[in-house]
Structure 1
Amino acid sequence: MSKLPQLAETDSLRQLKITDFCQRHEQQHVMTGTRGRRLHYCFYPQPKQPLLVIAPGRAEAAFKYRELAMDCFNQGYQVSVIDHRGQGLSQRFFPERHLGHMDSFDHAAQDLLQLTRRCNFDDQPCYLIAHSMGASIALRAMQLAPNQFHRAALSAPMLGLPLPYPAVFLKPYLAVRSAIEARRWRKQKQCPDYISSSRRDYHDSGFEQNPLTSSTVRYHEFRAMYQQQPELQLGGPTAGWLYQAMRLIESIQHNTDKLVTPMLFALAEDERVVAPAGQQKLRRNLLQKPVESYWLNLPKARHEPLLEVDSIRTPLLQQIFTFFKRA
């Protein structure tokens, strides 16, 4: 095991070290996921070591997690990072690649379980680190397969959405609109539209007002990667994505009795992407269950604590790895 962090923000050789790590250890693979969808993932093998699966958030590519993969690898884990269906290098749903869509989050949860079984060659304990949308997919996966993971760390889980109207009114509208758009796609190959006129094709709105991280280094690194590899870019969501996300959140909250995996939750104090009320609702529900759960409130952290400044990110990683090593 190595001391954390592997790469300080001030390290002038950060990108060279990440590139060297990837050249020596990164494998890129494609698998067939649920309902025949082609999925891309990165694998960093370390035979006979526990498997740690990483589930990114919405619009995030597996490549964005190379620094985290290196940290996990050097702590003694073999690591697998999925590109969720419809994003990264996995198969998109429509020719318009920037459309952020989802057919079913249960399918995405089954993809995650399939990847875990595929990469666990030596029948080792399996661990999970998941962020935002990926954390909600992970929660659903743990409900569908309660004994798959030994322990899980969930960063800023997407358990509530900042909606423009009350969900009781918005959900029926989204159900109808997404059904109409799905029929138009099947019959006429007409792509859906974005749900919001202000969130369409991918664009970098700049560091100053970004809600993701206060680390200028890590922010500019992932933005540069998306600029250099435009095939990774994803724009705003469709009505279908938003409708399926609401269904996912409901499924998680209504099936908390199926969560038996010990979990560590890392919540951002400066959260501006997901609605924290859903996180607190799950916390209250889990307090009444026998499942082991720990909740960390991270002062000054924005939505992506695992991409934050070293003063936030390093202690969080230390707590995650300490949690994973508990009996």
Structure 2
Amino acid sequence: MLTSIESLPPPPDAVCGMFGCSDGTHLRYAAWPASEDKVRGTVCVFPGRAEFIEKYFEVVSDLRGRGFAVVAMDWRGQGLSSRQVKRRKKGHVDRFRDYEEDLDAFMRNLVMPDYPPPYYALAHSMGAHVLLRYARHGANPFNRLMLIAPMIEIEYGRMSRSFVNGLSEMLTLFGLGGLGAVPAGKPMRFENNPLTSDRARFERMRDFEAANPDLRTGVPTIGWVHAATDSIALVRDPEFAGLVRVPVLMLIGSSERIVSISAAEEMGRRLKAGRTLIIAGGLHELLMERDSIRDQVWAAFDAFIPGEEDADSGLMAIA
């Protein structure tokens, strides 16, 4: 169930399968044991919108080399998990609470029974947003969250979130929530792309989708946009950050164009145990960036994620 390409085959020792959610949705997961004898815990990898497990093979190898077991999942509506609309190439969810419930099922039914603590989350963009939502509940199992380009707020161009939310709500009420929010365009070219400045890593992602077109997720639906803007309003409420008690480190590139840098900085100031680091020159996908940028991300990870007994010094180490 894992797609392989010549330039990036799956890391060895993978276990891959599906697990069910209470509403009948089936989600794909993949897991790897630590590659060292002394296990430092488990890192759970949560992709962003339209991403899939295969995109993180290099990250999995990096984490296993640090002594961690790794478990990753495809969110509902993308990758090889159950799709939510008939035209499977559109990315759809009715409400972001569904993502939270999927995450809870993933942790309680799959990760915690079979993989060693302590548990850490490494999440990107939309995945980071869902992790923040999940962390506001008292039963959160993670010791620390490392969030890459967190979707605290989206860059809407000349429109405001309130306008986008109101329009998408109206269209959804008229039964148009399953339509694409924007026209499907041509495949993204490397030149001037907002994701990464590393051509080889950019092309790998296209190669995975060519090798297995079912991995591809296209434009978000109008319903997804409505659900996303509703959820962003929740996360940006002034009272929200006080509910998150777990230490959080957020990393965002200085050249970010998809999500808001200022919103991530504001969240870092509001969190009880949080910080936002700006990575110079980085675009949206810092873990898929050129080596000089990835090295900064991993240096921050190593300072923040202690593993094993998980002392409280990690957040201070990156100050």
Q: What is the TM-score with the length of structure 1 in the denominator?
A: 0.85
Contact 2:134 2:140 in 1 (8 A): no
From 139, 143, 167, give the equivalent of 1:173.
Answer: 167
1:196 is matched with which residue?
A: 182
What are the superposed Cα offsets for residues 33-87 of structure 1, whole Å, 9 maximum, x if unpaired? 2422111111113496511101101110111001101111121111111100100
SS for the counterpart of 1:170 is: helix
Greater CA deviation, 118-127 or 102-111? 118-127
User: Per-residue deviation at 1:204?
Assistant: 2.4
Amino-acid identity (%): 29
Report whether the alignment pairs 1:231 with 2:214. Answer: yes
Q: Does 1:247 align with 2:230?
A: yes
- Give runs of aligned pairs for residues 121-270 of structure 1, distance below 5 A: 121=114, 124-145=117-138, 147-163=140-156, 164-181=158-175, 192-197=178-183, 200=184, 203-254=186-237, 255-270=240-255
Q: Distance in 2 between matches of 1:42 and 1:91?
A: 15
Alignment pair present for 1:37 and 2:30: no
The 2-side partners of 1:236 and 1:267 are apart by 23
Asked if the contact 1:60/1:87 (under 8 Å) is kept, the reply is: yes
**Structure 1 contact 147–260 (Cα < 8 Å) conserved:** no
Displacement after TM superposition at 1:95 (Å): 2.0
Residues 1:99 and 2:90 are matched in the alignment: yes
What do residues 261-282 of structure 1 show as CA deviations (whole Å, max 9, x unaligned)? 1111101100111132322332
Q: Which secondary structure state, in structure 1, belongs to the residue aligned with residue 106 of structure 2? A: helix
CA distance in structure 1 between the partners assigned to 2:270 and 2:61 by the alignment: 34
Question: SS state of the match for residue 36, structure 1?
Answer: coil
CA distance in 2, matches of 1:90, 1:214: 29
Residue equivalent to 1:119: 111
Distance change >3 Å, CA 178–CA 49, structure 1 → 2: same
Contact 1:265 1:294 (C-alpha < 8 Å) held by counterparts: yes
Q: Secondary structure at the match of 1:214?
A: coil
Q: Name the SS of the counterpart of 2:165 in structure 1.
A: helix
CA distance in 1, matches of 2:47, 2:254: 20
Q: SS state of the match for residue 264, structure 1? A: strand
User: Structure 2: which 5+ residue stretches go unaligned?
Assistant: 312-319
Instruction: Select 2:77's aligned residue among 73, 76, 86.
Output: 86
Q: 1:218 to 1:267 in 2, by over 3 A?
A: same
Alpha-carbon shift at residue 246 of structure 1 (Å): 0.9
Distance 1:179 1:62 in 2: 33
- Indicate if the aligned counterparts of 1:131 and 1:156 stay in contact, CA closer than 8 A: yes
1:292 counterpart = 2:262:
no
Deviates more, 1:248-257 or 1:218-227: 248-257
In structure 2, what is the Cα distance between the partners aligned to 1:219 and 1:169? Answer: 33
Report if the CA contact (8 A) 2:168-2:225 is conserved: yes
Instruction: Tell me whether 98-107 or 210-219 shows the greater mean CA deviation.
Output: 98-107
Q: Output the aligned Cα RMSD.
A: 2.1
SS of alignment partner, residue 154 of structure 1:
strand
- Structure with bigger helix share is 1
1:55 corresponds to which residue? Answer: 46
Q: Is the 8 A contact 1:146 1:258 kept in 2?
A: no
Q: How has the CA–CA distance of structure 1 residues 269 and 34 changed in structure 2, closer, same or farther, with 3 Å as cutoff?
A: farther
Distance 1:145 1:110, change over 3 A: farther
Partner Cα distance (2:132, 2:268) in 1: 13
For residue 279 of structure 1, what is the aligned residue in structure 2? 264
2:298 is the counterpart of 1:317: yes
Q: Which digits, 9 at most, give the CA deviation of each residue in 1:102-160, with x for residues without a partner?
A: 12211102212221222222561110000001100111111134531001110000111
Aligned residues: 297
Deviations 1:3-22 (A, max 9, x none): xxxxxxxxxxxx76852x53
Give the TM-score taking structure 2 as reference length: 0.87
